[in-house]
Amino acid sequence: MEIFYETKSQLQVHGYMDANWAYNVSDRRLTSGFMFSFGSGDVSWSSKKQPTIALSSTEAKYRGVAIAAFEVVWLQKLLSDFGESVDAPVVIYCDNISSILLVNKPGLSC
């Protein structure tokens, strides 16, 4: 199996994340996952049950975004080691409005 990447002048990183809240009725721990792509190919992904219990869907998604943000920092350092730089800001797509508001305004109380 091979992964092909299109050649582009600007390297763009896109991220997507999702998390479920209280889906597992036996332990109520959330599972969060993310996927990042560089240009035309996926390069990093993860799906993991988290060690803590979230009290709301907002908290579950917020924790998922935080985990994905740590991955962005690691990916940027990895690219730097290869002599590449990410010129545009990295956007992490999330489908929870209250989590998006919380990430964009950390002082906001939801």
Higher-pLDDT residue of 38, 23: 38
| Residue 6 included in any domain | no
CB 98 within 8 A of CB 110: yes
For residue 7, being part of any structural domain is answered with no
Domain annotation covers residue 108: no
pTM of the predicted model, to two decimals? 0.74
Decide which of 33 and 5 is more confident.
33
| Residue 81 is assigned to a structural domain of this protein | yes
In a domain, 92, yes or no: yes
For residues 92 and 1, which has the higher predicted lDDT (pLDDT)?
92
The domain containing residue 49 runs over which residues?
13-101
- Is 78 inside a domain boundary? yes
Domain count across the chain = 1
The pLDDT tens digits for 44-99 are: 888 888 887 888 878 888 888 888 989 999 988 988 898 877 778 888 888 877 77
